[in-house]
């Protein structure tokens, strides 16, 4: 019984939240890694792309809510995501046309593009704050819980409750669908194959008649879709605040690099590695250990390795370890 | 010539603020401009001279702020009695664990050392927390509303400036040892992470510098306005210059800071110029432009990178300490990466990376714009929305959002400079 209680507590406080957070990070890291594979620079504006796309989603959600259109138990935001993607894609394509294309034509060094993306980051950040403001916004609706802790206790007779928020379930399901779609696209369509070819060997791809500008445009649209889905899911699961999205940049980059930047599989693996380590290191193990150990050994303190505020430190340390010992990441990145 | 003209322009902008708005605002801009110029020189040393991509400026600036508290605040004896010794012991233990891990890494056989080092670090972390936690709890419970921290050494506040540089140097050495030699954008991510961690430590370790409860009323190197006003003779001299006594005292203090800061800036600038023109500077540029060739010529690229990374970070630390002295308080939650890291980058790029005068110019110019964009935007928005009704929701929203215009403006300026004058206003010679 105690073992079951411990397992339930572990699932409730560690496994489920980390799984949801990992899916969000994986989607974010996929965007970063695609830009790196095709455009060959680290995009510092990615967090703010997520913020701006999610902002569009939120506005459309509010509009739909006002019109009384909804999905019943599911959050209305799911209906609004396509509009958010359209908005973000338009913005990214416009940015590419006005900003990045010039440097591509010049064959500028990657580090110059990183600095350029810092400028874009400022602009996006300013736009987001200008339109929606820097404060928390809530846009989640529908059923809050798929399984509530009380129902679970009544059903199982255990002391520990297991709560599954509907946003957590939706996050995982949507992430799986999006990733499946992305991999199908990359492996089975002509455009997807040309993207992989371009990423692998630019000159050879050009020689075989692939139009680089098309590849770049398709990449931006996919990145927009990934960023908006990731941003909306994160906003539904936790809350929407522009500055938080900017701060997500660090765990997202850590995920992409840990997995091997440029490798989509790596981005997903990296997302989960980072998410699980953050949660494992900042979780207070008192409860789980209390069930597992005999009463005489039960811990007095929280048995927390680090405060939750240090979760950045966890992703950072993992990032450094991977960079030092396996600089290409877990999945030997660099091309898709 | 061009440099002279542009500096004259910046001077005119600041003087114009003095004439049109008030001399107090002009001096506030000037003082933070001086501090920004030093930060910008630091980043220019790393990026312009050596091509190192440091986006952790905020962290080093915050360390400078911490140095002011640790150096100048009077110690809190009750807190020291409650847990000071134990806290120090914990810190020594932490350092010992890291040293042991590093030694194990060097000494052990290749196969088993990963596990061994991980085990040392994990056990070390638990032991460190076991020693530290009771100490912090004891320290933080000592009169938490007023103190609840160890306090500082009670030394003169000007000493905090070099101490800020030293703290920054120590952290830069640790980062440099691990992260230099990585590809440029990986170094960027690593420094971004370090800066966030430093801020997290400042916010959460209340026993160190009160965390988000802030340390206010830091000692000042200059007299307080209120004391000046009561100094015999001060009022007469103010009246002689045609000023009322309150304005005169605030101006006196601000001019005092300007002189102190200007002295530091001039010293740093002279050193930076000498370094740039010296054989050392030529070697750094050679390394920046072609690492392989420089390495083939027998230059120790990694060691030189570490050196210049530390030097640049020291400047950021000193500037951070100066800034906190000027503010008179340490507020960890005010450190925002856009303001303290990326804005400094805008200064360097706009001024002209690789050119020290350019970095200084960028520091002043961008700081001026950062401050003045808001009133300009307010005025512009007022003009644009003049036709709308007073209670129009759009009008009110636009007027409320004006403060966010500065981010947008900085981004646009950065993008325009990168596109049309990629070498900055004062290009490297």
**Which of A18, A16, A290, A24 minimizes the C-alpha distance to A163?**
A16
Report the residue of A105, A117, A119, A321 to disrupt the B interface, i.e. the one with the largest count of B CBs within 10 Å: A119
Determine the Cα angle at B376 with ends B372 and B377, to 5°: 115
Smallest Cα distance from A134 to chain B, Å: 9
Nearest to B178 among A134, A307, A324 (CB): A324
pLDDT tens track for B82-123:
888 899 999 999 999 999 988 888 887 777 777 888 889 889
Report the residue of B189, B195, B346 to disrupt the A interface, i.e. the one with the largest count of A CBs within 10 Å: B189
The answer, for B200 touching chain A at a CB cutoff of 8 Å, is yes
CATH of A2-325, one of 3.20.20, 1.10.3470, 1.10.357, 3.30.420: 1.10.3470
d(CA A18, CA B175): 29
Q: What is the predicted pLDDT for the residue at B148? A: 85
Cβ count within 10 A of residue A187: 10
pLDDT of A202 over the 90 cut? no
Q: Which residues contact A264 (CB under 8 A, 6 or more apart)?
A: A30, A33, A34, A182, A183, A186, A336
Nearest to A312 among B186, B196, B408 (CB): B196
Q: Which residues contact B66 (CB under 8 A, 6 or more apart)?
A: B164, B167, B202, B208, B209, B330
pLDDT of A304 over the 80 cut? no
Of all residues in chain B, the one with the smallest CA distance to A313 is B197
Q: Which residues contact A93 (CB under 8 A, 6 or more apart)?
A: A217, A220, A221
Q: Where are the domains of chain B?
A: 2-75+151-420, 76-150
Report the residue of B51, B335, B418 to disrupt the A interface, i.e. the one with the largest count of A CBs within 10 Å: B418
- Map tokens 């004439």 to a residue: B19
Confidence grade of residue A267 (pLDDT, cut at 50, 70, 90): very high
Is the CB of A122 less than 8 angstroms away from the CB of B408? yes
pLDDT tens track for A1-46:
788 888 888 888 899 999 999 999 999 999 999 999 999 899 999 9
Is the CB of A316 less than 8 angstroms away from the CB of B196? yes
Q: What is the predicted pLDDT for the residue at A333? A: 63
pLDDT of A336 over the 60 cut? no
Residues of chain B with pLDDT under 70: none
The answer, for B246 touching chain A at a CB cutoff of 8 Å, is no
- Residue A143: left if φ>0, alpha if ψ -120 to 50, beta else—which one? beta
Q: Are A30 and A182 in contact (CB under 8 A)?
A: yes
Q: What is the predicted pLDDT for the residue at A220? A: 97
Share of chain A above pLDDT 70, in %: 98
pLDDT of A49 over the 80 cut? yes
Kindly calculate the radius of gyration of chain B based on its CA atoms and give it in whole angstroms.
Answer: 24
3-class SS of residue A287: helix
Residue A306 DSSP label = S
The answer, for B335 touching chain A at a CB cutoff of 8 Å, is no
Residue B151 DSSP label = -
Buried b (16+ CB within 10 A) or exposed e, B143-176: eeeebbbbbbeeeebebbbebbbebbbebbeebb
d(CA A170, CA A40): 32
Chain B residues closer than 8 Å to A326 by CB: none
3-class SS of residue A23: helix
d(CA B7, CA B426): 11
Q: Are A58 and A132 in contact (CB under 8 A)?
A: yes
Report the residue of A49, A126, A334 to disrupt the B interface, i.e. the one with the largest count of B CBs within 10 Å: A126
Nearest to A253 among B184, B189, B414 (CB): B189
d(CA B426, CA B267): 21
Is the CB of B189 less than 8 angstroms away from the CB of A254? yes
Q: What is the predicted pLDDT for the residue at B306? A: 94
CB-side neighbour CA atoms (13 Å) of B146: 7
Which pairing describes strands B215-216 and A164-165: parallel, antiparallel, or unpaired?
Answer: unpaired
Is the CB of A324 less than 8 angstroms away from the CB of B204? no
Is the CB of A254 less than 8 angstroms away from the CB of B193? yes
Nearest to B185 among A99, A114, A309 (CB): A114
Of all residues in chain A, the one with the smallest CA distance to B125 is A305
d(CA B325, CA B31): 11
Residue A284 DSSP label = B
pLDDT tens track for B232-268:
888 888 888 888 888 888 999 999 999 999 999 999 9
The answer, for B288 touching chain A at a CB cutoff of 8 Å, is no
Sign of CA dihedral A230, A61, A164, A73: negative
Nearest to B415 among A41, A42, A119 (CB): A119
Q: Which helix (H) or strand (E) holds A146?
A: strand A145-147
Q: Which residues contact B117 (CB under 8 A, 6 or more apart)?
A: B101, B104, B105
Is the CB of B184 less than 8 angstroms away from the CB of A129? no
Is the CB of B419 less than 8 angstroms away from the CB of A102? yes
Smallest Cα distance from A126 to chain B, Å: 5
The answer, for B376 touching chain A at a CB cutoff of 8 Å, is no
**Which of A95, A81, A111 minimizes the C-alpha distance to A48?**
A95
Q: Which residues contact A188 (CB under 8 A, 6 or more apart)?
A: none
Residue A328 burial by Cβ neighbours in a 10 Å radius (0-12, 13-18, 19+) = middle
Q: What is the predicted pLDDT for the residue at A335? A: 46
**Which parts of B242-300 fold into alpha helices (H)?**
245-277, 279-289, 291-296
Smallest Cα distance from B63 to chain A, Å: 17
Terminal CA-to-CA distance of chain A, rounded, Å? 47
Give me the phi and psi of B56, to 5 degrees please. Answer: -115, 25
CATH no., domain B2-75+151-420: 1.10.3470
Report the residue of B288, B407, B423 to disrupt the A interface, i.e. the one with the largest count of A CBs within 10 Å: B407
d(CA A150, CA A142): 19
Smallest Cα distance from B337 to chain A, Å: 9
Chain B residues closer than 8 Å to A101 by CB: none
3-class SS of residue A71: strand
pLDDT of A324 over the 80 cut? no
- Map tokens 């690492």 to a residue: B291
d(CA A111, CA A43): 10
Of all residues in chain B, the one with the smallest CA distance to A44 is B189
Is the CB of B411 less than 8 angstroms away from the CB of A119? yes
Question: Angle B343-351/A110-132 helices, nearest 10 degrees?
Answer: 130
The answer, for B43 touching chain A at a CB cutoff of 8 Å, is no
Q: Are B50 and B284 in contact (CB under 8 A)?
A: yes
pLDDT tens track for A134-158:
889 988 888 888 888 888 888 888 8
Q: Are B53 and B184 in contact (CB under 8 A)?
A: yes
Confidence grade of residue A334 (pLDDT, cut at 50, 70, 90): low
């Amino acid at each position: 019984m105690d073992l079951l209680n411990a397992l339930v507590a572990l699932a409730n406080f560690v496994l489920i939240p980390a799984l949801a957070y990992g899916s969000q990070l994986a989607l974010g890291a996929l965007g970063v890694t695609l830009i790196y594979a095709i455009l060959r620079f680290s995009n510092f504006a990615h967090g703010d792309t997520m913020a701006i796309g999610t902002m569009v989603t939120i506005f459309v959600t509010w509009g739909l809510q006002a019109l009384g259109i909804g999905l019943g138990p599911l959050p209305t935001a799911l209906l609004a995501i396509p509009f958010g993607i359209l908005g973000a894609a338009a913005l990214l394509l416009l940015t590419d046309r006005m900003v990045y294309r010039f440097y591509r034509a010049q064959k500028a060094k990657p580090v110059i593009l990183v600095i350029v993306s810092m400028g874009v980051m400022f602009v996006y950040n300013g736009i987001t704050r200008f339109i929606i403001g820097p404060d928390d916004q809530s846009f989640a609706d529908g059923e809050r819980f798929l399984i509530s802790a009380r129902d679970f206790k009544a059903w199982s007779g255990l002391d520990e409750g297991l709560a599954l928020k509907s946003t957590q379930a939706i996050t995982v399901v949507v992430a799986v669908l999006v990733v499946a779609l992305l991999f199908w696209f990359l492996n089975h369509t002509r455009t997807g194959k040309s993207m992989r070819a371009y990423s692998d060997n630019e000159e050879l791809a050009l020689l075989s008649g692939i139009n680089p500008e098309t590849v770049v445009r398709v990449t931006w649209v996919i990145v927009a879709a990934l960023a908006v889905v990731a941003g909306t899911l994160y906003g539904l699961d936790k809350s929407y605040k522009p500055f938080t999205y900017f701060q997500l940049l660090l765990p997202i980059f850590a995920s992409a690099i840990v997995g091997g930047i440029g490798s989509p599989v790596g981005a997903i693996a990296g997302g989960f590695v980072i998410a699980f380590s953050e949660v494992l290191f900042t979780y207070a193990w008192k409860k789980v250990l209390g069930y597992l150990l005999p009463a005489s050994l039960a811990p007095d303190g929280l048995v927390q390795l680090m405060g939750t505020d240090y979760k950045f430190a966890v992703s950072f340390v993992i990032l450094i370890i991977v960079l030092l010992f396996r600089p290409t990441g877990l999945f030997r990145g660099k091309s898709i | 010539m061009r440099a002279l003209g542009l500096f004259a322009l910046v001077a005119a902008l600041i003087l114009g603020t003095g004439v049109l708005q008030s001399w107090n605002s002009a001096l506030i801009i000037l003082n933070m401009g001086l501090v920004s110029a030093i930060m910008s020189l630091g980043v220019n040393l790393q990026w312009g001279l050596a091509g190192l991509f440091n986006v952790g400026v905020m962290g080093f600036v915050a360390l400078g702020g911490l140095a002011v508290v640790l150096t100048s605040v009077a110690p809190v004896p009750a807190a020291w009695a409650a847990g000071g010794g134990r806290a120090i012991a914990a810190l020594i233990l932490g350092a010992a664990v890291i040293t042991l891990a590093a030694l194990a890494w060097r000494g052990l056989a290749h196969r088993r050392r990963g596990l061994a080092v991980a085990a040392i670090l994990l056990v070390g972390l638990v032991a460190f927390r076991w020693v530290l936690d009771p100490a912090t709890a004891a320290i933080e419970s000592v009169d938490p509303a007023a103190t609840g921290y160890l306090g500082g050494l009670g030394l003169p506040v000007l000493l905090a400036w070099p101490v800020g540089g030293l703290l920054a140097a120590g952290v830069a050495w640790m980062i440099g040892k691990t992260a230099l030699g990585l590809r440029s954008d990986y170094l960027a991510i690593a420094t971004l992470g370090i800066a966030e961690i430093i801020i997290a430590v400042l916010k959460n370790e209340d026993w160190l510098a009160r965390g988000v409860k802030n340390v206010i009323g830091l000692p000042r190197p200059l007299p307080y306005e209120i004391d000046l006003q009561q100094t015999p003779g001060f009022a007469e001299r103010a009246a002689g210059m045609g000023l009322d006594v309150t304005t005169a005292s605030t101006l006196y203090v601000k001019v005092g800071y300007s002189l102190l800061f200007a002295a530091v800036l001039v010293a740093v600038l002279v050193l930076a110029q000498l370094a740039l023109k010296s054989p050392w500077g030529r070697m750094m540029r050679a390394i920046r432009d072609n690492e392989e060739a420089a390495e083939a010529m027998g230059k120790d690229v990694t060691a030189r990178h570490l050196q210049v990374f530390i030097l640049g970070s020291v400047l950021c630390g000193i500037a951070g300490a100066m800034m906190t002295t000027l503010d008179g308080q340490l507020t960890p939650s005010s450190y925002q990466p856009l303001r303290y890291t990326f804005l400094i980058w805008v200064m360097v790029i706009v001024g002209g990376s690789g050119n020290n005068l350019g970095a200084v110019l960028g520091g002043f110019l961008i700081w001026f714009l950062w401050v003045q964009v808001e009133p300009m935007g307010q005025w512009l928005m007022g003009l644009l929305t003049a036709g709308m009704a007073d209670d129009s929701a759009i009008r009110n929203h636009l007027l409320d959002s004006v403060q966010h215009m500065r981010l947008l403006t900085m981004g646009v300026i950065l993008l325009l400079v990168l596109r049309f004058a990629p070498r900055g206003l004062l290009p490297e010679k």
